[in-house]
Chain A
Amino acid sequence: MSGDPTYTDYSSEDLLVIISFGEEELVARNAAFTQFVLRFREPLLKACELKCKYFGNDITDAADIVQNIFFQVLKHQTFDKAKSKIKDTEQAVLAWLRGILKAEFFKYYFPKKKFEIEDEIEIIYGAFQGGGYKLIDNKKYLGVQHQSIINALNTLTEKERAVYLTYREFSSIGEYLPRIVRQAMTEELGLTSSSLRVYHLRAKQKINQSLENK
């Protein structure tokens, strides 16, 4: 099927197309999948380890969670560029993977909560618009800003932090959490849906206030 059995020169989208052939093209599927894993495993693993660490979870969970992400890619390859709002295909693949990462991270710690198809689609395609971000490129400045956001988060109570960071993770384009995540949060924190929103609003105000006063 290919002159390049390692598929190193293939775009990530093309690798996903080959992966979707499944067992009908087993050798090609496995080679493309291997290349896809090698391409994305390190950034996913680093991000996951750090998130585990910040949230007080066992950092060795990160490898399990990332393996689960690629397992989902292998078994249920659903990437569809046409559904993505992001023009750049590589960025779109990354956003799609990030959606799976969020879902798998959540599922790992809330195994009894079953994501429904529409939840996953909402997370994968709705939670990220992409483009237009003017990022900080000065390391010294970034260090100061990084410390500011850490300090701001430290002004929140534990519940407020959990609510705030969950909203920021899952609802970057609005104020709505996927239903299943909202349910898990309310059960876990002993809050109603409306008090969850109040906690979020209060946390946002505290963060803004802290950043203004820095």
Chain B
Amino acid sequence: MNTLFEEDKIQSLLAVSGLIFPRTTEEIEIFNQLYKNYIFQNHPSLVDPEMILRMTAPYEKRVIRKLSKSPLQLEINEGLQMAARGSTNIPKDIFDKMKENQAKHDNLQ
């Protein structure tokens, strides 16, 4: 077997790719680099310490949609591929198109 793909490396690749949760600060840094141009939908302010201090019980999912019955969406978007290739100067029209595609994709979910 190719030594590049030992178990640890596979684990790391899954972690930095977001397929499992990143485990170290180093993996989080690479995760951030890989998804630098990815537009996250949840703003950090949604996790509000004041609100958590007032919580009396954990949030519960109202409509249960179990993990294993959902299709795994494993495609990576154009922005991610470009970021992964190190393309930091993405033209505005391409970037806008990426955002538009992302929005369309998210609306379909």
Residues of B near A180 (CB, < 8 A) are: none
In the complex, whether A124 has a CB less than 8 A from a CB of chain B is: no
Which of B11, B14, B106 is the one whose CB lies under 8 Å from A59?
B106
Task: Tell me whether A33 and B2 are in contact (CB under 8 A).
Answer: no
Residues of B near A50 (CB, < 8 A) are: 18, 35, 40
Task: Tell me whether B60 and A142 are in contact (CB under 8 A).
Answer: no
In the complex, whether A41 has a CB less than 8 A from a CB of chain B is: yes
Q: How many residues of B contact A (CB 8 A)?
A: 67
Residues of A near B13 (CB, < 8 A) are: 136, 145-146, 149
Of A38, A90, A108, most buried by chain B (CB within 10 Å of CB) is A108
Which of B2, B49, B55, B73 is the one whose CB lies under 8 Å from A54?
B73
In the complex, whether A118 has a CB less than 8 A from a CB of chain B is: no
Closest residue of B by beta carbon distance from A61: B61
Given A30-B53, A208-B1: A54 touches B74 (CB 8 Å cut-off)? yes
Task: Tell me whether B74 and A109 are in contact (CB under 8 A).
Answer: no
Given A165-B19, A165-B20, A212-B1: A140 touches B61 (CB 8 Å cut-off)? no
In the complex, whether A56 has a CB less than 8 A from a CB of chain B is: yes
For chain A, the bracket of interface size reads 35 or more
Task: Tell me whether A43 and B67 are in contact (CB under 8 A).
Answer: no
Given A71-B58, A111-B64: A150 touches B52 (CB 8 Å cut-off)? no
Tell me the bound Cα distance from A112 to B40 in angstroms.
Answer: 30
Tell me the bound Cα distance from A155 to B25 in angstroms.
Answer: 30
> Nearest chain A CB to B52's CB is how many angstroms away?
5
Task: Tell me whether B67 and A130 are in contact (CB under 8 A).
Answer: no
Task: Tell me whether A150 and B40 are in contact (CB under 8 A).
Answer: no
Task: Tell me whether A142 and B84 are in contact (CB under 8 A).
Answer: yes
Residues of B near A66 (CB, < 8 A) are: 47
> Nearest chain B CB to A181's CB is how many angstroms away?
11
Tell me the bound Cα distance from A41 to B46 in angstroms.
Answer: 9
Residues of A near B64 (CB, < 8 A) are: 109, 111
Q: Could you write out 16 A-B pairs with CB less than 8 Å apart?
A: A46-B40, A54-B18, A54-B72, A59-B106, A61-B61, A64-B59, A68-B58, A72-B58, A110-B66, A145-B4, A150-B74, A150-B75, A153-B74, A154-B74, A158-B71, A158-B72
Which residues does A use to contact B, with CB under 8 Å?
30, 33-34, 37-38, 41-51, 53-68, 70-72, 74, 90-91, 94-95, 98, 101-102, 104-105, 107-111, 128, 130, 132-137, 139-140, 142-143, 145-147, 149-150, 153-154, 158-159, 161-162, 165, 168-169, 172, 185, 188-189, 207-208, 211-212
